[in-house]
Amino acid sequence: DAKTTQPPSMDCAEGRAANLPCNHSTISGNEYVYWYRQIHSQGPQYIIHGLKNNETNEMASLIITEDRKSSTLILPHATLRDTAVYYCIVTEKGGADGLTFGKGTHLIIQP
Amino acid sequence: GAVVSQHPSWVICKSGTSVKIECRSLDFQATTMFWYRQFPKQSLMLMATSNEGSKATYEQGVEKDKFLINHASLTLSTLTVTSAHPEDSSFYICSVERPSGGHEQYFGPGTRLTVT
């Protein structure tokens, strides 16, 4: 799996959009970008994934650059419950492989 | 709703004893489940891949004789920590991959093991 780089921490004001960047410059053509988050003392939660097009679901939006070497997860209206560690993971789809977690970004939503 | 459950959610055991942790896939059948371990202030680390009807695949550095995995059905995998020691105290989390669509993984709520 390609390696990813994320900032260790970020702050965001409640109600504002939270933009979390991820660099994955060594991504290969058949690898997808997945985002998960882990709220303290809970199991990780799937957020969204994409290949090359921008994606949106009820939780977030995913913007992938045209060269696919980086992406941004957007939480449009952050709430205090969005405080968590966010992981950007690049992996093949359906490979039945376990995930390799980096250190992620600790997003803190400020009231 | 929950897609994956784990039992127990926490357990305290004495050094030298064995502990079994159950992971159940509630929404779909899973021929493959994954087990992770997470130490305080660290990220999740993949321990092993549990395969229904066959032997588990362990990551490098994980002792297969210490962490016994049984995947007896398409909805249940168990992890047994044998002869537990204080250094085995950790947060153990299982996951299941959706068999179609996005193939995203769904994680259980985790089991916190404390060995005294």
**pLDDT digits over A83-94, tens only?**
999 999 999 876
Q: Does A8 touch chain B (CB under 8 A)?
A: no
Put simply, the answer to whether B106 touches A103 (Cβ < 8 Å) is no
CA distance B47 to B34: 8
* Residue B93 identity: I
Residue A32's nearest CA partner among A47, A18, A17, A10 is: A47
At A93, is the secondary structure helix, strand, or coil? coil
**pLDDT digits over A53-97, tens only?**
899 999 999 999 999 999 999 999 999 999 999 999 999 876 678
Tokens 């092993």 found at: B48
Torsion of the alpha carbons at B35, A50, A5 and A80, rounded to the nearest 10: -80
CA distance B2 to A44: 12
Question: How would you write the pLDDT of chain B (116 residues) with one tens digit per residue?
Answer: 568 999 999 999 999 999 999 999 999 898 899 999 999 999 999 999 998 888 999 999 999 999 999 998 999 999 999 999 999 999 999 999 888 778 889 999 999 999 99
Put simply, the answer to whether B103 touches A87 (Cβ < 8 Å) is no
Whether the Cβ atoms of residue B28 and residue B73 lie closer than 8 Å to each other: no
Put simply, the answer to whether B43 touches A41 (Cβ < 8 Å) is no
Nearest to A101 among B6, B43, B49 (CB): B43
Q: Does A93 touch chain B (CB under 8 A)?
A: yes
